[in-house]
Chains A and B, each alone.
Chain A
Amino acid sequence: MIVEANSVRFDSLSLDSGAALAQVEVAYETYGELNAAKSNAVLALHAFSGDAHAAGISHETGKPGWWDNMIGPGKAFDTNRYFVICQNVLGGCRGTTGPSSIDPRTGCPYGMAFPVITISDMVRLQKMVIDSLGIERLLTVTGGSMGGMQALEWAVAYPDRVVSAIPIASTTRHSAQQIAFNEVGRQAIMADPDWNGGDYYGRQPPARGLAVARMVGHITYMSDDSMHEKFGRRLRGKDNFSYGFDVDFEVESYLRYRGSQFVNRFDANSYLYITKAMDYFDLTNGHGSLAAALAPARARFLVISFSSDWLYPSYQSQEMVRALRSRNCDVAYVELESNYGHDSFLVDVAEQTSLVRGFLASTFEKLS
């Protein structure tokens, strides 16, 4: 399945901070066909570093999408039955307007002049794209991690527009630990002299800071077990310690590699803005309690967490589920056994597939 990127442009977007953006562009991809009743649309929402390329082989890069094992013909989100949409988020650097985009007021990249954004700003923009596609109701909104936060935000902000929601390995609010890891990443970027107050476009970007930020991130996405299994204490291309600070261990090599790879595809300022949006995310804000915050939600929910995920631990999903139950919402929940830590929703998908397939099929049947 070779897929092509699309884009749509809007004249303005108002933001939670009170600021507004002029000329906002959104990159998106679609898979499958929208049915005549427009009742089979699925919105897949990417996690922190993802992009609009969720499935198939990119026409541009030749690479598979970030959820290609879940989206496609015969897969969990079966593109023979459903029409799947994925958009790059606001603040991103993969085709949607973000800090690396040109500020129409100055003709230069925004850099730190880009306004601070929130998860609900991202969702407001996503809804504009869904409106532009003429889709009244989404069969489901789904995603892992930050994608799950957006799915929840959709269910609360636009209850009439979503039939169901599948937040995976996610939370209703960022915890102190989650904020802490994001802050380490941000400080690594801002401590790099090349960051230059966010003004580095056309110059050397803060590659070292961004790579360190990514290394920290990768540790939090894995588990002690999965790192032990993948690397153990194995040495990299040698039999003895180097007694120096070059790469000795496989795990060091892996983290350095992932860090350096990330620099080629991600913008450091996007890292700052998107992680901040995640840290600000708290559904209870202004509502007193989570149950009160979820009061508008009408969707059917499938909530999934993973046993080895210590970054978005199961208790956060259980909190979400308990609050939904107290509102008498239709909610299914299971904690899946997996060794892959937070990354499980991307890599360990066999059980996730049967859950999503059954949930989606029954939701679709009830609709028609």
Chain B
Amino acid sequence: MSAHAAGKQTFVRELLGRSDYAIIGEIVEPGAKVLDLGCGEGELLQWLAENKGVDARGVEISGVKVQRAIARGVSVFQGDIDNGLADYPDSAFDYVILSQTLQETRHPLSVLREMLRVGKRGIVAFPNFGHWRVRVNMLLSGRAPRTSLFPYEWYESPNIHFLTVHDFETLAAAEGLVVERRYFLSGHRKMLRLPNLMAEVAVFLVRK
């Protein structure tokens, strides 16, 4: 795998308290049509709408979060992303965002395929289960790992599929996806080497 990461600067500022949002904010160009899957209360979409003039839409399953998103002025649909994308026409969006949501879906592969049907490009950000801290934690404790990135007990975790940087690269290759850019983050730094060990969060820009 090529561990080549985009950009020379290794420091990543935060956007709304998150480095992966900052990357997404960099990728999306002004005026684009954007769909955020699992958009929560719509903070990222609101930022993109206000700062990049994007046409922002979201899908979120929690009614309370949808209410807050709509109250912010973001067009969010209350629904399940596992079956909720079928209505959208092909290539309806320039970007479909899955920011730390893929690992929470029941059928990640079909969600990935659907996002690249309705979107020309997909931005997938996920917590890397291959990070060294996760590996050490599991090796030493012999229990389902709990780290700052995966803070939940196994029985209450929203994460139902665990994947590593390697896993995503392998799947992308098997699906014949083009990875246009990849970013590996640890805190505020871009990890240029050994991303599968060093990255806490990975952000991939992919297309079919």
Contacts and interface: CB of A to CB of B under 8 A. Distances in A.
Given A326-B87, A334-B66, A355 B71 contact: yes
Nearest to B53: A366
Given A325-B88, A355-B70, A330 B63 contact: no
Contact of A332 (B76, B88, B92): B76
A320 to B, nearest CB: 11
Nearest to A291: B87
B55 A330 contact: yes
B63 A335 contact: yes
Interface stretch (A105-113, A212-220, A246-254, A356-364): A356-364
Contacts of B63: 334-337
Chain B contact residues, majority secondary structure = mixed
Interface in A319-368: 321-323, 325-326, 328, 330-337, 351, 354-355, 357-359, 361-363, 365
Contact of A354 (B71, B88, B89): B71
Contacts of A322: 87
Nearest to B56: A330
B121 interface: no
Given A325-B88, A328-B92, A334-B63, A358 B70 contact: yes
B158 interface: no
Chain A contact residues, majority secondary structure = helix
A314 to B, nearest CB: 10
A354 B73 CA distance: 10
Contacts of B57: 330
Q: Which of B55, B69, B71 has the most CB of A within 10 A?
A: B71
Q: Interface size bucket, B side?
A: 20 to 34
A196 B74 CA distance: 54
Interface in A225-281: none
Interface string B71-109: 111111111000000011100100000000000000000
B159 interface: no
A302 interface: yes
A300 interface: yes
A361 B88 CA distance: 26
Contacts of A330: 55, 57, 75
Contacts of A365: 73
A322 B63 CA distance: 17
A332 B77 contact: yes
A334 B70 contact: yes
Contact of A331 (B55, B67, B75, B89): B75
Nearest to A360: B73
Contacts of A333: 66, 76-79
A291 to B, nearest CB: 9
B78 A358 contact: no
Interface in B134-160: none
A334 B72 CA distance: 14
A300 B74 CA distance: 11
Contacts of B75: 300, 330-332
Contacts of B72: 358, 362
Q: Which of B63, B74, B75, B92 has the most CB of A within 10 A?
A: B75
Interface of A: 300, 302, 321-323, 325-326, 328, 330-337, 351, 354-355, 357-359, 361-363, 365
Which 5 A-B residue pairings sit nearest by Cβ, starting from the closest? Answer: A362-B73, A358-B71, A332-B75, A325-B87, A354-B71
